[in-house]
Each structure stands twice: as structure tokens, then as C-alpha cells.
């Protein structure tokens, strides 16, 4: 069904691979639609605890497809015939996260399961934004990053002005967005952009292994709620965030996962938490 991505599930991990290696996985309209559909599919699959997003071949994602950029720059994009992508209509993410997460790609942080970018090569422009909007980034040393917007006469697009300073700090974000300079995986780790620094060819498997470890030890419902807490609380002051956390804690103390967590600890066995998709 998909042409510009690959989708595969091996319990408990879904792997989504951007699959235009001849173009360093540059993003097309079709790829965006397929990616959104695949994320929704993974989110609703009870076998999936977490999702890995990676790229085929030498790159993660080189940004928007140059053909589309040229058409936009020349004013021709509006006259191009649009491909029918209605079969990929999907609405992934938690709508209860509110209006702050209802604009273009802001749905990505609302995905109810962990989403890890396994960055194996070139990561630029919109691909850089996608990587930043993932929950974590496992980065190979040789990977090359650039925001690139300023070099095309553009501004910090699609939420990068919001998410990047929260990951690496204001001054570092200004540096990368002002200069559009290239930097590698080693510097990405130093800046705090890379959560894991990986040898070449290993990021995908390390991300898969991380999710497998989560599935073996952590309650999927707790993972889902903690993720929503952290993103929602970025937009809250301390008091309301504490109040919401207290309410959620009261609910969790009365839940089956808490009983199983205590029982498994006392009985010295692995926990058997329920997989959740709601």
C-alpha cells in the first residue's frame, strides 16, 4: 500500500522507514500522508509498545523534495495537479492534548506511544524538524544535520522555534537556526540533541532494543500518560501542572497496573502489564 515509506511490526516495535533512498528520503506530499497513516496504524496496534522512525539507505531525511520547493518558489505549486491520497486519511495522536497540538506537524508529540528517531545519515530541513518532534533521537556518529531554512530565505518552520530551544537551549538553537551550519552526530550529542550516540549502522537496532526494554519493564499506560504530561506541562505554569499530576496519580493508584507493579516486585518476577491503545 505504501510507496514512499516502509512499515513493519515485530512485537513490540513498529519500524517506519522513509523510503526514497535515491533522494536521501526527501519528503513528498505522498510521504507525509503515508507517514501519518502509518503512525496512526502503529498507535492503534495493541502489539506495538513503541515506534522507530528511520531512513533507508545513506540518509534519514534530506528535507522537502526539491521539485516541490522549486514549484513553490516559482509560484507554480498552486497550479499543479494534486495526487489523490484520500486512502491515507488518518488522525493519529491524542485530541485531548488541546489546541496547542492541533497545528500541522504538532500532532507528532501527541502520538500515544514512544516515537524514537533512528538517525543514520543526512537530516536536514523538514527532516530535521521531524527528528526534533520525535520523543528521542538515537544518532549515528557520521550523521549530518542542518536546519537549512535560513539558507533558503526561510524562517524556523513547523514548530522548530518552539521545540529546538527546549531540547538544546536558546543560544544553541539560535546558532543552528541562524547559521544553518552542518554538524555531525558527535556534536549533536554534545548539544543534547542526540539521546544516544551510535556507531554507524546501529541506531535502528539500538532504538528497537530500547523499546523492547520498555515493553519488558514499564506499563504502557504509564508511558502514555507520562508522555502526555511532559508535553502538556511545557505549556503550563507549575501550579496547574502539579494539580493535574496529583489527579493522575490518584487515578493510577486505583488502577490494575499499580496492583500488578507491586505484585511483580514482591514476587520478584517480570511485570505483566496490559497493552493499551485508547
In contact, 110 and 97? CB cutoff 8 Å: yes
Span 138-180, pLDDT tens digits: 999 999 999 988 888 888 888 899 999 999 999 999 999 999 9
pLDDT higher than threshold 90 for residue 200: yes
The arithmetic mean of pLDDT across residues 73-100, rounded, is 73
pLDDT higher than threshold 60 for residue 32: yes
> What end-to-end distance do the CA atoms of the chain give, in Å?
25
Residue scoring higher pLDDT (156 or 72): 156
Q: What is the pLDDT of residue 98?
A: 81
Q: What is the pLDDT of residue 278?
A: 65
| 111/30 same-domain check | yes
| 165/182 same-domain check | yes
Single pTM value for the model: 0.91
pLDDT higher than threshold 50 for residue 79: no
Query: Quick check: is 137 in a domain?
Result: yes
Closest C-alpha to 270, from 219, 224, 225, 227: 219
Instruction: Provide the residue range defining the domain that includes 238.
Output: 219-266
Q: What is the pLDDT of residue 85?
A: 85
| 43/97 same-domain check | yes
pLDDT higher than threshold 90 for residue 80: no
Annotate 68-93 with three-state secondary structure.
HHHHHHHCCHHHCCCCCCHHHCCCCC
| 121/108 same-domain check | yes
Query: Quick check: is 113 in a domain?
Result: yes
The arithmetic mean of pLDDT across residues 8-36, rounded, is 96
| 229/196 same-domain check | no
pLDDT higher than threshold 60 for residue 71: no
Structurally, the chain folds into a number of domains equal to: 2
| 9/141 same-domain check | yes
Span 217-258, pLDDT tens digits: 999 999 999 999 999 999 999 999 999 999 999 999 999 999
| 243/205 same-domain check | no
Beta pairing partners, 15? 8, 52
Annotate 24-48 with three-state secondary structure.
CCCECHHHHHHHHHHHHHHHCCCCC
The arithmetic mean of pLDDT across residues 33-52, rounded, is 96
pLDDT higher than threshold 50 for residue 132: yes
Query: Quick check: is 31 in a domain?
Result: yes
The arithmetic mean of pLDDT across residues 184-201, rounded, is 98
Residue scoring higher pLDDT (95 or 175): 175
Query: Quick check: is 274 in a domain?
Result: no
Q: What is the pLDDT of residue 137?
A: 98
Residue scoring higher pLDDT (99 or 78): 99
Amino acid at each position: 500500500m505504501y510507496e514512499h515509506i516502509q512499515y513493519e511490526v515485530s512485537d513490540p516495535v513498529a519500524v517506519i522507514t522513509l523510503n526514497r533512498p535515491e533522494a536521501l528520503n526527501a519528503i513528498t506530499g505522498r510521504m507525509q500522508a503515508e507517514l501519518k497513516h502509518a503512525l496512526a496504524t502503529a498507535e492503534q496496534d495493541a502489539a506495538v509498545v513503541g515506534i522507530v522512525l528511520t531512513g533507508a539507505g545513506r540518509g534519514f531525511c534530506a528535507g522537502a523534495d526539491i521539485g516541490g520547493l522549486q514549484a513553490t518558489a516559482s509560484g507554480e505549486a498552486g497550479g499543479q495537479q494534486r495526487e489523490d491520497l484520500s486512502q491515507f486519511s488518518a488522525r493519529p495522536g491524542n485530541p485531548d492534548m488541546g489546541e496547542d497540538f492541533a497545528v500541522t506537524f504538532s500532532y507528532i508529540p501527541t502520538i500515544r506511544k514512544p516515537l524514537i528517531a533512528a538517525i543514520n545519515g543526512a537530516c536536514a530541513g523538514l527532516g530535521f524538524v521531524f527528528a526534533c518532534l520525535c520523543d528521542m533521537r538515537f544518532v549515528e556518529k557520521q550523521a549530518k544535520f542542518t536546519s537549512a531554512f535560513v539558507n533558503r530565505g526561510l524562517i524556523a518552520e513547523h514548530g522548530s522555534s518552539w521545540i529546538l530551544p527546549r531540547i538544546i537551549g536558546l543560544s544553541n538553537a539560535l546558532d543552528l537556526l541562524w547559521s544553518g551550519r552542518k554538524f555531525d552526530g558527535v556534536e549533536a550529542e554534545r548539544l543534547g540533541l542526540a539521546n544516544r550516540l551510535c556507531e554507524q549502522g546501529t541506531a535502528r537496532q539500538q532504538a528497537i532494543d530500547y523499546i523492547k526494554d520498555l515493553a519488558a519493564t514499564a506499563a504502557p499506560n504509564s508511558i502514555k500518560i507520562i508522555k502526555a504530561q511532559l508535553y502538556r506541562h511545557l505549556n503550563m505554569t507549575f501550579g496547574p501542572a502539579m494539580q493535574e499530576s496529583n489527579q493522575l496519580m490518584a487515578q493510577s493508584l486505583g488502577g490494575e497496573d499499580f496492583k500488578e507493579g507491586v505484585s511483580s516486585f514482591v514476587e520478584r518476577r517480570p511485570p505483566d502489564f496490559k497493552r493499551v491503545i485508547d
